[in-house]
């Protein structure tokens, strides 16, 4: 397993060691002990989620607030997504900055998004199966978010705006300046 620090504080890309032969492949998707040794962060997760989406679906930018904040370890099991994290921790040196990475069934990369970050992804392939581990349980009353196309953030979602498919909730998220985080 290789860990690469992103430009955002405490946000990492994880590249597994893949063993391939003519039968297929094997890799260790997650190892709590190795993760903690390499990052110094807690790698204990309590909930796993999976979503399937079609091309153009954009999910985000979402977060859980206060005592229900969640760190996530995300990956794309099948297909290809553009995954984005934005630092919403007001005390952080990277507050208000975002970073994106392509995750796919082919590259098998994972992206660690710490607590206090907004998170979202757009689907670049015909379909995508997306998995994420969370270190805290979901709580509906603690939902927060930022509008996906906020003019101040200028996030590149790698999709033409006309192709973006949103949920009703994501169409009306507050702007970054309104600070629903």
> Catalytic positions, please?
62, 132
Whether residue 117 contacts residue 135, with contact meaning beta carbons closer than 8 Å, is answered with no
Handedness of CA 135, 97, 4, 124 (dihedral sign): positive
Centre a 10 Å sphere on the Cβ of residue 58 and count the other Cβ atoms it contains: 24
**For the chain, counts of helices (H) and of strands (E):** 2, 13
Query: Distance between CA atoms of 145 and 48, rounded to whole angstroms?
Result: 20
């Amino acid at each position: 397993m290789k860990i690469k620090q992103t430009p955002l504080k405490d946000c990492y890309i994880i590249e597994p060691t893949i063993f391939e032969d003519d039968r297929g492949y094997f890799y260790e998707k997650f190892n709590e002990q190795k993760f903690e040794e390499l990052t110094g962060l807690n790698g204990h997760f309590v909930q796993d989620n999976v979503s399937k989406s079609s091309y153009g679906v954009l999910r985000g930018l979402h977060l859980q607030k206060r005592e229900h904040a969640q760190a996530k370890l995300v990956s794309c099991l099948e297909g290809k997504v553009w995954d984005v994290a934005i630092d919403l921790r007001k005390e952080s040196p990277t507050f208000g900055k975002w970073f994106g990475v392509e995750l796919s069934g082919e590259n098998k990369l994972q992206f660690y998004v710490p607590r206090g970050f907004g998170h979202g992804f757009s689907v670049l392939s015909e379909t995508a199966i997306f998995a994420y581990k969370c270190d805290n349980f979901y709580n509906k009353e603690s939902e927060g978010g930022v509008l996906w196309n906020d003019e101040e953030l200028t996030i590149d979602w790698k999709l033409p705006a006309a192709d973006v498919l949103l949920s009703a909730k994501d169409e009306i998220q507050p702007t970054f300046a309104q600070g629903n985080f």
